[in-house]
Amino acid sequence: MSRILIIEDEEKISRFVELELMHEGYETGKAADGRSGLEEALKGDYDLVILDIMLPELSGIEVLRRLRKESAVPVILLTARDSVTDKVTGLDMGANDYITKPFAIEELLARIRVILRNAEAQAEGRGSDGGKGDPAVLSSDCGIEMNTDSHAVHYKGKAVELTNREFILLKILMENRGVAMSRERLLSEAWGYDYYGETNIIDVYVRYIRQKTSDDVIRTIRGVGYMME
C-alpha cells in the first residue's frame, strides 16, 4: 500500500487528513515542522508527500527546494487562498500539484489518486511524455521553434529558457495553432484535470512566456482565453 507523509503544523488538519488517508488504506507518516518533515521525506520510503507551505523552522517552499535536490517523490502543496505566487513558485520548484485551504477531503483524495496513478504509469514506462508519433520539432509563423524531444525552444533563432510548466503550456498552444483555447482547457491539458476556477494561473504563465519571447507570440482572445496563430 502507498505511504504518504503529511508535513503540516496545524494538528487539527494533520490529524484529520491522517485519519482519512488511513481510512482509504494508505500508510501515513507525520511531521509538524519543515525541518523534521524534510528529514522524514528524505528517508525515501514515501510514495507521496503532502506539504503545507506555512510551516515553522523551514517553509514548505524551502523544504520542497531541498527535497528536489535529492528526491523526485510526488509532492502536493497546501497553499493559502489567493496566493498565486506561492502556487507558481511551488509548481516551478517541482511540486506536482497544489490544493488551496480550506479544501474538501474528497478533492485531496482525488488528486492523490491521480498522482499515484501517474507515478505508477511512469514507473512502468507508460508516461505521457515522449509519446510515439509526436513530431519532434514544432514551429510557428510567429517565430517559435520547439523541439519536443530535447525541450529546446528558440524564438526568431534565439534560445529561450523556459521552465517545465511554461514549456508544457507553450507546447499545447503550439499543437493547437489557430484554435482559441479556453483557460479551462489549457489547465486541464497542461495539468491533467480541473483546477476548480483557478484559471488565473494560466494568465501568469502566459505572461512569463511573453516576457521571454514577445507579446505577439500568444494572442489573447477576449472572453475565451489564448491562441497561437
CB 30 to Ca ion: min, Å: 13
Residue nearest to Ca ion (CB): 54
Which lies closer to Ca ion via its Cβ, residue 65 or residue 177? Answer: 65
H or E element at residue 185: helix 183-191
Which lies closer to Ca ion via its Cβ, residue 54 or residue 172? Answer: 54
Structure-block grid coordinates of residue 13: 488538519
**Alpha carbon distance 71, 43 (integer Å):** 10
**Alpha carbon distance 135, 129 (integer Å):** 12
13 touches Ca ion (CB under 5 A): no
CB 54 to Ca ion: min, Å: 4
CB 14 to Ca ion: min, Å: 9
Which lies closer to Ca ion via its Cβ, residue 9 or residue 175? Answer: 9
9 touches Ca ion (CB under 5 A): yes
Site string for Ca ion, 17-56 (x = CB under 5 A): -----------------------------------x-x--
Bridge partners for 98 per DSSP: 77
Residue 196 vs residues 93, 163, 166: alpha-carbon distances, Å:
22, 23, 20
Q: Is 49 left (phi over 0), alpha (psi -120 to 50) or beta?
A: beta
105 touches Ca ion (CB under 5 A): no
**Alpha carbon distance 90, 93 (integer Å):** 5
Interface contacts to Ca ion, rule CB under 5 A: 9, 52, 54
